[in-house]
Amino acid sequence: MFTSGGDSPGMNACIRSVVRTGLYRGLDVYGIMYGYDGMIEGTIKKMASHSVSNIIQRGGTILKSARSEAFMTKEGRQKAYAELTKLGIEGLVAIGGDGTFTGAKVFFEEYGIPTVGCPGTIDNDIYGTDYTIGFDTAVNTALEAIDKIRDTAAAHDRIFFIEVMGRDSGYIGIECGIGGGAELVMVPETRTKIEDVVKSLKGLRKTKTSSIIIVAEGLDCGDAAQIMERVKASFKDEEKEFKVTTLGHIQRGGNPTAKDRLLGSRMGMAAVEGLLAGESNCMAGVMNDHVVYTPFADCITKEKPLKSDYLRLQEILSI
């Protein structure tokens, strides 16, 4: 097993579950350090039950993570296969996002090593699962910061633009917006226009002296700082303070929530048991509280839309 791409809280819970499920089923379990790079370099170690003691509460990943350019080449994948063959490794558990699954899909097609993935990304943008490992923790981390920013926004009658992560997905943004009582949420899926933001803020002045606008990264109209400057230009005749806060990588760290610990543990077990049952070239996800296996091809190519009732709820609650 290995972790690849961006880290997310709950990956260690998944690693722990893979190791102990494998051992419980009488398997030899190996941990590959630094993702695909470690596979190429042969940085692989045999895992025991005590190898994963006291890690379920920790963020990050004990196996480390990296984005591998070498694995994108045929030569790199050939070296990786040779290293796995040396140890007699017969199956892989890949913990990561769509980039990780893309590499796993190509590797399977070339060498046929059965692989089951576990969706580890804070973005919650993977098709085939209701939630990804780390998403719940990221939302709660962001919410804690948003609550504190709202205190100072209210004290000084300020308008805050708060940028959250999510790449091309607005899941963190919309859940933070609803949970944090934001007046406006800007996510890639809705393509909010700057003039609409200005209109909303001017309409809210009648009832509110401060406002929080959640800005998801990946917007076509710019980042939070650029959007703030454009909105601010429409208020140049008014004495109104505008501020920007980019939460950044704090959303990736910290102790995973109970939900992410449980989700990671459940998916780790599902990956190992899926391999034993003949599942391959797919991801183990949880939908409607049931474990499902989705082909990597679908996970990579199909979009996971925002829940439409979330968008409607945000609009209703912001008045």
Q: What is the pLDDT of residues 258-308, one digit of tens each?
A: 999 999 999 999 999 999 999 999 999 999 999 999 999 999 999 999 988
Please give the single-letter amino acid code of residue 100. Answer: T
Does 237 have pLDDT greater than 80? no
φ/ψ of residue 223, rounded to 5: -90, 180
What residues form the annotated binding site for ATP?
Answer: 6, 67-68, 97-100
> Are the folds of 2-134+256-301 and 137-252 the same?
yes
Q: What is the pLDDT of residues 136-161, one digit of tens each?
A: 999 999 999 999 999 999 999 999 99
What is the CATH code of the structural domain delimited by 2-134+256-301?
3.40.50.450
- Active site members: 123
What residues form the annotated binding site for ADP?
Answer: 16-20, 150, 181-183, 206, 208-210
Choices 3.40.50.360, 3.40.50.460, 3.40.50.2300, 3.30.70.3270: CATH for 137-252: 3.40.50.460
Contact call for residues 74 and 97 (beta carbons, < 8 A) = no
Residue 106: the pLDDT is 97
What residues form the annotated binding site?
Answer: 6, 16-20, 67-68, 97-100, 121-123, 150, 158, 165-167, 181-183, 206, 208-210, 217, 243, 249-252
**Reported confidence tier of residue 97, pLDDT bands at 50, 70, 90:** very high
Report the DSSP beta bridge partners of residue 244. 161
Residue 269: the pLDDT is 98
Calculate the average pLDDT of the chain. 95
Residue 51: the pLDDT is 98
Q: β-strands 44-47, 241-246: how paired?
A: unpaired
**Reported confidence tier of residue 15, pLDDT bands at 50, 70, 90:** very high
